[in-house]
Amino acid sequence: MNGGGLLVAGTTSDAGKSVVTAGICRWLVRQGVKVAPFKAQNMSLNSFVTREGAEIGRAQAMQAQACRVEPTALMNPVLLKPGGERSSQVVLLGRPVGEMTARGYHGGRQRRLLGTVLDCLAELRGTYDAVICEGAGSPAEINLRRTDIVNMGIARGAGLPVLVVGDIDRGGVFASFFGTVALLAPEDQALVAGFLVNKFRGDVSLLEPGLDMLRGLTGRRTYGVLPYRHGLGIDEEDGMAVSLRGAVRESRVTAPVGEDVLRIAVCAVPLMSNFTDVDALAAEPGVVVRFVDRPEELADADLVIVPGTRGTVRALAWLRERGLADALARRAAEGRPVLGICGGFQLLGEHIEDDVESRAGQVDGLGLLPVRVRFAAEKTLTRPVGTALGEPVEGYEIHHGVAEVTGGAPFLDGCRVGQTWGTHWHGSLESDGFRRAFLREVAAAAGRRFVPAPGTSFAALREEQLDRLGDLIEQHADTDALWRLIESGAPQGLPFIPPGAPA
């Protein structure tokens, strides 16, 4: 018998679906429920590698952590990784299967994947007591409903009740709730059980008359009003603003242990991927992290990071056009710290031969590291472990570029020359001892009297963050009603709200 299920949809992108899903997962697991997350289709440049070597969205990896289970490809069977304005790499069950335009994907390929994602969901429901699914965008995107496999398509296919989340901080939440339901077909409306208000500020009693009126208009209840809280973002989808609002950055307003702060500038390259790598740095007391796109913003930085990107050659051209390439070269010549991660590591090298990602052929890199890169058709997806700077470290790799290191000192899988460092390893800075050793090196090279805090545990901070999300659900949602929804499905006899979906 299948376990219970729920689809968390949203009135808009960034309404809080990922956070609410993680919060419900953490609340359930604290009640002794065996629960798993699921997102049929994710569009994101922030991805993760599972133990079996599958690539999935980072949001689902964090939701799995909220469930206290290992993430698997079943939890995010389709991942779309944008490579430009109109095309994306399609990752199916953790492995890339090709590039497609949006028109080609929505024109037929997406609908053919419905059976695959429903099979994955059924397998999870056969294993877990409950599966909490996350939608994408809005379920009322009427232009995409015919091929939808992530919102009402999956809800109808699996008979899932739907909870619609609205961000009241944006304004217009009542109209958004009503309009979302009113633009759905009768069969879809029958699955929309009710609403959850997110990011409310002020006195809830002033909101309650509106919630009563909404119930009168739609026949659907509101399952909770979550208050606005700073620092509740987990590793979500794309949007740099989302990452900058992460709890690790806002909750640790702590003075530095040493006399100085450490300033870190991250180059906001095009198609930036896995920029969550810097969250662990921002968790350190006295470390200030900012994203930059102008050369003058590097002047006072103690460390400059060139992050991952889905467009290494494009990012290289962007750095040159903006004058950032020259600024990086000056830093390297002066012995001022620079760290390249994944695509950022590749473009610090001497040459890039790319007949896969950009198909630009051979391109000169910045020449700051003795590395030559050749893009392979097969993607590297691994979870390496090792030792660096005298400390244990682990990470994950997601890249087509194969690096040939011809000199320098070893550094993880890459190398360093002076104070210029490069590696393919994402997530390495989450290893606490290694992060502290690296920051000590950076501080010494920068002449800063900065001392890493000895007790900062990034894993503990993440657990604390997920517990705060669980607390929000437990304290501000009707959890008894939520559990009935998960266990028994949408209430019977929910009214149809005209006009419904266009013909």
What are the catalytic residues? 342, 426
Please calculate the CA angle 59-65-66 and round it to the nearest 5 degrees.
90
Contact (Cβ atoms closer than 8 angstroms) between residue 6 and residue 486: yes
Buried b (16+ CB within 10 A) or exposed e, 447-474: ebebbbbeebebeebbeebbbbbbebbb
List all residues 6 or more positions away from 206 whose beta carbon is below 8 Å from its beta carbon: none
HEC states along 248-297?
HHHCCCCCCCCCCCEEEEEECCCCEECHHHHHHHHCCCCEEEEEECCHHH
Contact (Cβ atoms closer than 8 angstroms) between residue 99 and residue 62: no
Contact (Cβ atoms closer than 8 angstroms) between residue 345 and residue 403: yes
Termini Cα distance of the chain: 36
Contact (Cβ atoms closer than 8 angstroms) between residue 425 and residue 384: yes
Contact (Cβ atoms closer than 8 angstroms) between residue 254 and residue 285: yes
Neighbours of 438 (CB within 10 A): 24
CA 145 to chain centre: 24
Helix segments in 4-112, DSSP class H? 17-30, 58-67, 102-104, 110-112
Buried b (16+ CB within 10 A) or exposed e, 149-182: bbbbbbbbbbebbbbbbbbbeeeebbebbbebbb
- Taking Cα atoms as reference points, which of 354, 349, 358, 278 lies closest to residue 311? 358
- Taking Cα atoms as reference points, which of 469, 430, 437 lies closest to residue 452? 437
